[in-house]
Every structure is written in C-alpha cells, then in structure tokens.
Amino acid sequence: MKPASDQHPLQTRFPLVDQYMGIRLGVDLGSVEPGAAVIVESPRRLRAEMSYGFVHALWWLWLEDGRSVISVPPGVADAVRDIAEAAHSREDLLNPVAVERLRERVDPALARLGLPPTSRVFRDLTFTFACDAGIFQRHAAGECVRLTDSSIPPADGLTLPTHCFPDGVAYGVIVDGRVASVAYAHRAGVLEDCVADLGVETAPQYRGRGYAKTVVSAVVADFAASGGEARYACDPANTASIRTAAAVGFVPYGTSLVLAATAG
C-alpha cells in the first residue's frame, strides 16, 4: 500500500474532521503522516453506525494528503494486508477483483461472531469534503428555517430527518408550506457538537433552484459559528452534489470504500 506522497495542508487545516474520522475508524489520524498507510482493527466494524443503520464492516479511507487507513474487524488485519500493500493509488480501490477479495477476508470474521456477511459495496468511492469558517460561502435561495420537528410536512419525494428532532441540527427551505430541501448533521454519536457530518436531500420537483446550497450552507454556518467544522460526502458520479459542496466552500478531503453488512 503506497499512497502518493504529495503534501497538502489538510492534515492541520481540519483537525476536528480528522479527530471525528479517526474515532470512527479507530485510529489517531493526526498521528498519521502524509503518505503513510496503516491498517487498524476496531470493534466499531462489528456494530451499526448511528444514523446509518448498517455495519461498516470494512472502511478504507484514502485522504488527499496521501494518508491511507483501512479499518477492519478485530483479527482481520493480517488477512487483508497483502491486498492493501498491492494498492498504489485510490483508483485501485475501484478494482472489483480486489473488492471481492476483501469481502472474502472480512465475511468469515463476521460469521465467527454470528453476524451476516457484507451485502453492499460502496466501491465507486465516496468523495469527502471538509469545510471550515475560513472558506465558507453562505447562500440564501428561498425561505430557510431551522427544523426541530415534523410540523412542516415534506414535499413529495423528500424524507425528513426525524432522528435529528428536536435536538439535532437540520435546516429546510420552505416552498408552498412544505419542506422542499433539507440538510442536517447526522447523529453519529461522535463529536456531534463540533463536527457536522452532512446529509442533504431535495425533492425532485425543486432541484436546480439553489435550495441545496442554501440548506447546506445553513448547517455549516451553524457549526462554523462556534469554531466547528463540517464533512460532506457524496457519490463521485453525483455531479450536482459535488457542485453544491464546492459552491458552499468545501474542498476535497479524501475518498472511501465501505463494505457494508446488515446490522445484527
């Protein structure tokens, strides 16, 4: 496993996002030097992540500054080491043969603990962005309000983040008395007061109007006001979501591969 050694300022630029991701992966990301690669075993790989509902049985994060971390269940590090060492770039994580080999190493560990095998593979890599107050750009399309309950109904095709009510952070753009677009910070159970792990959804009939930028920027502003940071993840094929992140001020932070299993 030989990540690129290009130096980037992200390692010190976003210490809260590093801390947040490090806790979820089971490693101190701040201690991983640019260009270094590590495999860690974490019991978190055996239980469902809060707010997501499924088990991240293997989580491979490859950051823009060259740091690479593979988080696996206890007892699996040696089994995946040869696959990890054969990866020379983030693009290698897309190799379907390598992904299936990883599943072959992870699934037996889950079975030994009475857990189901991995059933979903996010192998197109998820782009992750990080944003702080210094690069933030606010948007104001439509009427944007903070949501604390379900009293304002969603537009057709949109689901409200009820797990964020009443104490989480969620903002919506209201059109014709309904929530047309919503952004929220996942209730991940980790650093919830200082890192927003963003989710965003816009009803199909309201897309292309700038509402997603508005609600995402509202959540970021909420956290940035107290010195917090934010993380935004989307599929690399979702160009509209990537444009939304860039318009608010997010910058590339890393890519990830997740082998997911149903929660036991």
Per-residue pLDDT, 12: 59
Q: Residue ranges of the domains in the chain? A: 10-129+256-262, 137-248
Is residue 6 very low, low, confident or very high in pLDDT (cuts 50, 70, 90)? Answer: very low
Mean pLDDT of 24-34: 91
What Å distances lie between residue 121 and 40, 52, 100, 117, 251, CA to CA? 20, 15, 9, 11, 25
- Give the right CATH number for 137-248 from 3.40.30.10, 3.40.50.970, 3.40.630.30, 3.50.50.60: 3.40.630.30
Tell me the average pLDDT of the chain. 89
User: What order of strands is seen across the sheet that includes strand 68-72?
Assistant: 37-41, 68-72, 54-63, 251-262, 118-131, 229-234, 195-202, 178-185, 170-175, 143-146
pLDDT in tens, 251-264: 989 889 999 998 75
pLDDT in tens, 10-24: 555 889 999 999 999
CB 258 within 8 A of CB 56: yes
CB 107 within 8 A of CB 252: no
Per-residue pLDDT, 86: 86
pLDDT in tens, 178-198: 999 999 999 989 999 999 999
pLDDT in tens, 92-135: 777 888 889 999 999 998 898 888 999 988 855 566 778 878 88
pLDDT in tens, 127-182: 677 887 888 899 999 999 999 999 999 999 999 999 999 999 999 999 999 999 99
